């Protein structure tokens, strides 16, 4: 599908599009330059703008070095909504994992973990649960780990532990309770645990041939942490507890537990991100090709002739945040189809797995 805008277009007054960089969430993302010369990402909310724009004004007031900044919400002459965001030129965590399929090593994993936890702590303290954490939404830029893609974020009262308006996340990073509509910050703790496992091993803890099989493993299996050193094995095990009450209460608690180990503190203290995560070596990609942003890879394209943008491994592609008013029931309608399909896949998986499970249960009875 062709992008809506091309190089040189000015859909929003004051910004000139340089190139398309990807699709994700509810629309398209472009690298653009302001009339004053500032590099920005323009997100065109082509699909469901009312969902994405809900409360985005409040996100513009979030200020943290570990979060992608949202600058403004603008409309074209035709009334099309755009979000003006910080342009991130560094690689995503997904890019790094692709370049290092065996895992990043403990020092680099700790660096990303610390940045993620600091950014999430800031969000959680303000009642915001990210709800779609995954490597494609985590970036490195100029010495900082930054969290992006707030397209599914939700403002929550700290005393309210559930909501029923939208499904969330990518299946490999999705906490077991999400299917029942429980969207507390514990689901972010769970996703952090999954990413820590992936950063150390190069693979996610629960894999399967279908979405249903992966979901069933999230519901029924413990992660295999054999071979992982402490404190990582213990921390991952606790972060991935099936019962959210048994996980770390906060991401700060998780990070404190990790840094309680002298080896972890020492490894993190000597890690130099500028040596390990800068330039082409950080991207590990010598011939970047276009790919879906936020769906497991970066989005690249040749730079426009008049201007060469900073090297882009995976620009930030989405923004949202706490709604200014309580969520409305339309969200339930929007995501009902997803959970109907998910439920059907799970039922299919149960039907396939039930004979094996029953046979295993009967072995003691039959003396097997």
Question: Two tokens at 328?
Answer: 């409305």
CA distances from 297 to 42, 126, 256, 288 (A): 19, 29, 30, 10
132 is catalytic: yes
Other Cβ atoms within 10 Å of 215 Cβ, number: 23
C-alpha pair distances (Å), 131 with each of 149, 182, 194 = 10, 11, 13
CB neighbour burial string for 7-35, b if at least 16 within 10 angstroms, e if fewer? bebebbeebbbbbbbbbbbbbbbbbbbee
Q: Exactly one of 132, 141, 149, 188 is catalytic; which is it?
A: 132
Q: Please, how many CA atoms are within 13 Å of residue 234, restricted to the half-sphere of its CB?
A: 10
Interstrand relation of 39-44 and 128-129 (parallel, antiparallel or unpaired): unpaired
Place of tokens 């469901």: 48
Q: Catalytic residue numbers?
A: 132
């Amino acid at each position: 599908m062709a992008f809506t805008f091309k190089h040189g277009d000015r859909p929003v007054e004051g910004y000139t599009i340089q190139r398309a960089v990807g699709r994700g969430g509810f629309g398209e993302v472009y690298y653009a330059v302001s009339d004053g010369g500032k590099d920005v990402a323009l997100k065109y909310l082509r699909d469901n703008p009312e969902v994405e724009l809900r409360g985005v004004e409040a996100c513009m007031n979030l200020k943290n070095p570990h979060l992608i900044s949202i600058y403004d919400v603008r409309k074209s002459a035709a009334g099309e909504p755009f979000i003006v965001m910080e342009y991130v030129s560094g690689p995503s965590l997904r890019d790094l994992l692709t370049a290092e399929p065996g895992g990043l090593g403990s020092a680099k994993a700790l660096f990303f973990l610390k940045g993620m936890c600091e950014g999430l702590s800031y969000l959680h303290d303000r009642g915001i649960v990210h709800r779609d954490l995954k490597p494609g939404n985590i970036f490195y830029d100029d010495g900082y780990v930054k969290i992006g893609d707030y397209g599914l974020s939700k403002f929550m009262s700290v005393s309210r532990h559930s909501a029923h308006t939208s499904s969330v996340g990518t299946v490999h990073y999705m906490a077991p309770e999400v299917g029942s509509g429980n969207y507390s910050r514990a689901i972010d703790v769970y996703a952090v645990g999954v990413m820590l496992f992936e950063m150390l091993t190069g693979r996610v803890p629960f894999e399967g041939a279908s979405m249903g099989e992966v979901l069933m493993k999230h519901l029924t299996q413990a992660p295999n942490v054999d071979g992982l050193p402490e404190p990582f094995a213990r921390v991952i095990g606790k972060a991935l507890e099936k019962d959210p009450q048994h996980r770390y209460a906060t991401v700060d608690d998780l990070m404190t537990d990790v840094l309680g180990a002298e080896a972890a503190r020492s490894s993190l203290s000597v890690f130099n991100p500028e040596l390990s995560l800068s330039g082409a070596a950080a991207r590990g990609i010598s011939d970047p090709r276009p790919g879906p942003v936020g769906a497991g890879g970066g989005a690249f394209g040749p730079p426009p002739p008049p201007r060469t943008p900073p090297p882009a491994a995976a620009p930030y592609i989405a923004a949202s945040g706490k709604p200014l008013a309580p969520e409305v029931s339309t969200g339930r309608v929007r995501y009902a189809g997803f959970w109907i399909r998910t439920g059907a896949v799970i039922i299919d998986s149960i039907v396939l797995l039930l004979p094996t499970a029953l046979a295993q249960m009967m072995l003691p009875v039959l003396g097997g």
